[in-house]
Chains A and B, each alone.
Chain A
Amino acid sequence: MSAVRTAFAELLGMFIDDGQLALTLIALIALVTLAVKSAWIGPLAGGLALLAGCIALLLESVYRHARRNLAKRD
């Protein structure tokens, strides 16, 4: 059982490091998919929104980590 748990944790770890980043990425993809499927935006606009969103979330994640790290040093 613990081997299965370890394998599952390793598998999950392949995709998730910062849980908040992973969750917001999934939410972004879900939102963009919903917007495209509901024809609120076109597929290309959806792709571009995804690109912009991923960049914004990446920047937020590294900035958050850095701030927290610097606060610990003080």
Chain B
Amino acid sequence: MAEAGPAAPARQSTEAETPMTSLTTIISTVSASFLASFVEVVEAFTIVLAVGVSRSWRPALTGMALGLAVLGCLILVLGPLLGLIPLHLLQFAIGVLLVLFGMRWLRKAILRAAGFIAIHDEAKAFAAETDQLKRQAADRRADFLAASTAFKAVLLEGVEVVFIVIAVGAGRGLIGYASLGAAAACLLVLAIGFAVHRPLSRVPENTLKFVVGVMLTSFGIFWTGEGLGANWPGADLSLIAIALLILAVALAAVRLLRNLTTAAAVP
């Protein structure tokens, strides 16, 4: 895509160099990254825990370590490339991906809240994974299969965390803050998980996904608009206005869908 918007500014790559960084953006970046990463890490933790409990901790921790190593390599390779992309182009590209990513989360969260899709249940996911691993116990490759299950979970959920950190942080050169939010989420999940030693089924995952869907969609629309050269009224504060509008629409959609169900149930 050609450079969007008026005179493209020079690439801003660090927090200190970003003049328009406001407290609003920092808080929303850290909280979006924290909440989204929290949900992803809970899902990965459930699977690693299932492997550890039903097979043994060796393949669970080996798979997890390998997954983290691959993620580390991905970050080392992709991270420096971001600095080469002009800011407006980066905002636009990330904005488009965030709109797709955030709307997918929000759509699912709305449908779950309205009762059209089953609520994600970590206890069920844990039981399903444990069952699967028990069925593989007789296989001579059982340790390998268990380790690869943990590896895949950490890698797949981790890739989403990496994307979220880049997506909410790169548009304003706030990857450091976004990483901080993600790291805090990882530490919190691990601390709670190892303390209670069971799946974190009491985490209100759908509510979190609803909030995160609203935040990511808002970031996406905001960045895409900025990538097109839009000067949003109120600058970064308009991010809050966009998020509130989307939240209101999403809540109204849940109500509308629940009414549809009620109306359909009446003979």
Using a CB–CB distance below 8 Å, which chain A residues touch chain B?
10-11, 14-18, 21-22, 25-26, 29, 32-33, 36-37, 42-44, 46-47, 50-51, 54-55, 57-59, 61-63, 65-67, 69-70, 73-74
- What are the residues of chain A within 8 A of B253 when measuring CB–CB? 58-59, 62-63
Q: How far is the CB of A56 from chain B (nearest CB, A)?
A: 10
Using a CB–CB distance below 8 Å, which chain B residues touch chain A?
1-2, 4-5, 96-97, 99-101, 103-104, 106-108, 110-111, 114, 116, 156, 159-160, 163, 217, 221, 224-226, 228-233, 242, 245-246, 249-250, 253, 256-257, 260-261, 264
Is the beta-carbon distance between B217 and A33 smaller than 8 angstroms?
no
- What are the residues of chain B within 8 A of A70 when measuring CB–CB? 260-261, 264
Is the beta-carbon distance between B245 and A15 smaller than 8 angstroms?
no
- What are the residues of chain B within 8 A of A50 when measuring CB–CB? 221, 224-225, 228
- What are the residues of chain B within 8 A of A65 when measuring CB–CB? 107, 111, 116
- What are the residues of chain A within 8 A of B249 when measuring CB–CB? 55, 58-59
Q: Within the assembled complex, what's the spacing in Å between the Cα atoms of A25 and B224?
A: 12
- What are the residues of chain A within 8 A of B229 when measuring CB–CB? 36, 43
Q: Within the assembled complex, what's the spacing in Å between the Cα atoms of A35 and B228?
A: 10
Q: Within the assembled complex, what's the spacing in Å between the Cα atoms of A17 and B112?
A: 14
Q: Within the assembled complex, what's the spacing in Å between the Cα atoms of A42 and B221?
A: 16
Q: Within the assembled complex, what's the spacing in Å between the Cα atoms of A42 and B163?
A: 30
- From A16, A25, A43, A55, contact of B225 by CB (8 A): A43
Is the beta-carbon distance between A21 and B231 smaller than 8 angstroms?
no
- From A32, A54, A73, contact of B103 by CB (8 A): A54
- From A15, A37, A47, contact of B230 by CB (8 A): A47
Is the beta-carbon distance between B5 and A29 smaller than 8 angstroms?
no
- What are the residues of chain A within 8 A of B226 when measuring CB–CB? 47
Is the beta-carbon distance between B224 and A62 smaller than 8 angstroms?
no
Known: A37-B4, A44-B230. A62 touches B107 (CB 8 A): yes
- What are the residues of chain A within 8 A of B233 when measuring CB–CB? 44
Q: Within the assembled complex, what's the spacing in Å between the Cα atoms of A67 and B260?
A: 8
Known: A55-B246, A62-B111. A33 touches B231 (CB 8 A): no
Q: Within the assembled complex, what's the spacing in Å between the Cα atoms of A58 and B114?
A: 14
Q: Within the assembled complex, what's the spacing in Å between the Cα atoms of A59 and B245?
A: 13
